[in-house]
């Protein structure tokens, strides 16, 4: 149990309104710490990045190709796959999607990456040695290299 509560607000006016409401309606004294600006990262240009199976430094039994492209402000994250489920089953593709979502939590500067479309464009695996974990673990590396190639705008 803690006496602290963390909330995200959009500006000084919203902070003042919440403080006043809590004090007037509920007799709750409120203290706010210093305001911190929350930034987000957005890719600058469309890029493709592929990491091949059995090509150093790739230690995983997987090939992954990703295309990153910027979307309009406020569009959020869109994930698509060009890979047939007949070729690469759901568990492998879901592992890639999980890796993409995880990668978007912290971009090149440590902020959430947003307003982009990520397309899973290329896959290769070796049956029976490849596992979904290979794809899940390789995805953040491919994503980061693609993001570095694209560059990012910092959004407030």
The structure tokens 């240009």 sit at: 45
C-alpha gyration radius of the chain: 21
> 104: which DSSP letter?
T
Domain with 4 in it: 1-36
pTM listed for this prediction: 0.83
How would you write the pLDDT of the chain (156 residues) with one tens digit per residue? 567 777 778 788 888 999 999 999 999 888 888 888 889 999 999 999 999 999 999 999 999 999 999 999 999 999 999 999 999 999 999 999 999 999 999 999 999 999 999 999 999 999 999 999 999 999 999 999 999 999 999 998
Q: How many structural domains compose the chain?
A: 2
- Is 124 found in the same domain as 97? yes
The sign of the torsion formed by the CA atoms of 124, 149, 113, 75 equals negative
- Is 83 found in the same domain as 8? no
- Is 55 found in the same domain as 122? yes
């Amino acid at each position: 149990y803690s006496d602290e509560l963390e909330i995200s607000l959009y500006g000084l006016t919203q902070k003042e309104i919440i403080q006043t409401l809590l004090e007037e309606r509920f007799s709750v004294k409120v203290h706010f710490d210093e305001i911190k600006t929350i930034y987000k990262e957005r890719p600058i240009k469309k890029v493709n990045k592929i990491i091949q199976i059995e090509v150093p430094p790739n230690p995983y039994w997987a090939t992954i190709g990703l295309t990153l492209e910027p979307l309009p402000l406020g569009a959020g994250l869109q994930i698509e796959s060009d890979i047939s489920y007949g070729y690469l089953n759901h568990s492998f593709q879901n592992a890639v999607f999980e890796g993409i979502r995880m990668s978007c939590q912290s971009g090149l500067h440590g902020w959430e990456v947003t307003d982009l479309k990520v397309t899973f464009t290329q896959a290769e695996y070796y049956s029976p040695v490849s596992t979904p974990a290979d794809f899940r673990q390789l995805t953040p590396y491919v994503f980061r290299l693609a993001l570095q190639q694209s560059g990012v705008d910092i959004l407030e």
